[in-house]
């Protein structure tokens, strides 16, 4: 499942349209299809965090799933207007805490750091965000692209409770440098973000791969051995290892049934037989 988060419905429109997402009832506006759930979080980091928790709590993401926060941001320094950036570091302005999504497989999209605050960015030189960066109160490099938004840290703070760092991606398009923007600007940038999402998608799918593991069923054998909980765990681990190592445990165990050695009458005999089976399988 792909979990998408945008702050504004306007940012979500290209995704809703192109992915044919249908609205669902819930505490937050949610649009979904078979493999994508898009949530409109509203503005502010707290709202974003609440939206992430609300949706991921219900859907319990696994190894193959990932989350993308997609939206517009202001450029504070070294950031090009109307450019999409992948975010490698998010700083929450109020707490000073940093978050680091893992950017593993990377297309050509440039990278940037993101600062998140609860208020709109008003631009240099008076905005406290600008002064925080220019006065080197945050650790930044002189040539680093730095953006500002109002949701990123909420996403970055909540998502790690459900997902690994490589399953979290933040894409931001630079809309302004503190000046007001129009609805048309938002619409154009949202289309740009949709294209960036399409480019990002195969990278995310390639790095979010579920590891296949064998299933082991040993309840019946455990009963026939009168296994205690400890014995059952040992048996389960033994049979699981045999599956991984390509050892044919079924034939060996079948031979014990065929020779009338299984089932046993009591736990003591079961313990001895389990040790014998172990030795037979692992020699």
Partner 1 sequence: MSCSAEKFRHLYIESSILDHPETKRIRSLFPNAVCIPVERYTDVFSRPHQSYRAQYASMNLILAEKHGTAVYPGAPVCHDFGSERFFYTAMAVNCLYDCSYCWLKGMYNTANLVIFINLEKAFEETEKLLEEGPLYLSLSFESDLVPLETLTHQIQRWNEFVKRHPGLSTEIRTKCGADSIYASLDPDPGMIFAFTLSPQSVINALEKGTASLHERLKAAGTAMEQGFPIRLCFDPMIRIPNWKEEYAGMVLEVSKQLDLSRVKDISIGTYRQSDTYQRRMRKRFPASAVIQYPYETKNGYCQYPEAEKNEMEQFLKQELIPFAGEEKIFLLEDNS
Residues 250 to 279: which contact partner 1 by CB under 8 A? 278
Binding-site string for partner 1 from residue 63 to residue 102, where x marks contact by CB under 8 A and - marks none: -------------------------xx--------x-x-x
Helix (H) or strand (E) holding 237: helix 229-245
Instruction: State yes or no: residue 103 binds partner 1 (CB under 8 A).
Output: yes
The Cα–Cα gap between 190 and 236 comes to: 51
| End-to-end Cα, the chain, rounded Å | 43
- Give backbone dihedrals phi and psi of 77, rounded to 5 degrees, phi first: -150, 145
User: Is residue 184 a contact point for partner 1 (CB under 8 A)?
Assistant: no
Residue 32: in which H helix or E strand, if any?
strand 30-32
Number of residues that bind partner 1 (CB under 8 A): 34
**What is the rounded CA–CA span in Å between residue 206 and residue 253?**
40
Phi then psi dihedrals of residue 30, to 5 deg: -125, 135
Contact 256, 224 (CB under 8 A): no
Residue pair 151/118 in contact by the 8 Å Cβ criterion? no
**Cβ closer to partner 1: 99 or 197?**
99
Residue 245 binding partner 1, by CB under 8 A? yes
Residue 211 contacts partner 1 per CB under 8 A: yes
**Binding residue for partner 1 (CB under 8 A) from 139, 181, 219, 272?**
139
Which of 123, 160, 178, 263 forms a contact with partner 1 (CB under 8 A)? 160
Among 25, 141, 180, 229, binds partner 1 (CB under 8 A): 141
Nearer to partner 1, 25 or 212 (CB): 212
CB of 95 to partner 1, least distance (A): 12
Q: With binding defined as CB under 8 A, does residue 208 bind partner 1?
A: yes
Residue closer to partner 1 by CB (options 98, 177) is 98
231 binding partner 1? (CB under 8 A): no
Tell me the closest approach of the beta carbon of residue 163 to partner 1, in angstroms. 7
Q: Is 105 in the site for partner 1 (CB under 8 A)?
A: yes
Does 213 help bind partner 1 (rule: CB under 8 A)? yes
Q: DSSP labels for 13-31?
A: HHHHHHTT-EEE-SSS-EE
Residue 160 sits at φ, ψ, to 5 deg, of -60, -15
Could you give the CA distance from residue 259 to residue 274 in angstroms, rounded to a whole number? Answer: 15
Contact assessment for residue 156 and residue 54, using Cβ atoms and an 8 Å cutoff: no
**Is 240 a binder of partner 1 (CB under 8 A)?**
yes
Residue 127 has what DSSP assignment? -
The verdict on 223 binding partner 1 (CB under 8 A) reads no
198 is a site residue for partner 1 (CB under 8 A): no
Alpha-carbon span 99 to 258, nearest angstrom: 59
Where does this chain bind partner 1 (CB under 8 A)?
88-89, 98, 100, 102-106, 111, 113, 139-141, 144, 160, 163-166, 207-208, 211-213, 234, 237-238, 240-241, 244-245, 278, 282
């Amino acid at each position: 499942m792909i979990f998408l988060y945008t702050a504004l419905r306007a940012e979500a429109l290209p995704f809703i349209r192109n992915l044919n997402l249908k609205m669902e009832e819930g505490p937050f506006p949610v649009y979904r299809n078979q493999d994508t759930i898009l949530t409109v979080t509203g503005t502010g980091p707290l709202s974003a965090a609440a939206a992430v928790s609300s949706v991921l709590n219900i859907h319990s993401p696994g190894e193959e799933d990932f989350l993308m926060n997609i939206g517009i941001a202001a450029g504070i320094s070294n950031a090009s207007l109307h450019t999409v950036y992948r975010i490698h570091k998010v700083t929450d302005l109020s707490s000073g805490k940093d978050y680091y999504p893992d950017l593993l497989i990377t297309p050509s999209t440039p990278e940037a750091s993101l600062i998140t605050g609860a208020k709109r960015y008003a631009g240099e030189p008076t905005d406290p965000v600008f002064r925080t960066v220019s006065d080197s109160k945050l650790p930044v490099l002189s040539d680093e692209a730095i953006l500002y938004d109002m949701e990123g840290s909420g996403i970055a703070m909540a998502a790690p409770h459900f997902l690994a760092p490589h399953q979290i991606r933040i894409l931001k398009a630079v809309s302004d440098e503190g000046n007001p923007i129009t609805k048309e600007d938002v619409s154009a940038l949202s289309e740009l973000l949709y294209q960036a999402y399409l480019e990002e998608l195969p990278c995310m799918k390639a790095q979010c791969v579920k590891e296949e593991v064998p299933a082991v069923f040993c309840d019946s054998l455990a009963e026939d051995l009168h296994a205690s909980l400890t014995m059952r765990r040992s048996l389960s681990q033994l049979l699981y290892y045999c599956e991984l190592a390509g050892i044919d445990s079924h034939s060996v165990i079948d031979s014990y049934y065929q020779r009338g050695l299984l089932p046993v009458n009591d736990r003591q005999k079961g313990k001895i037989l389990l040790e014998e089976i172990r030795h037979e399988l692992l020699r």
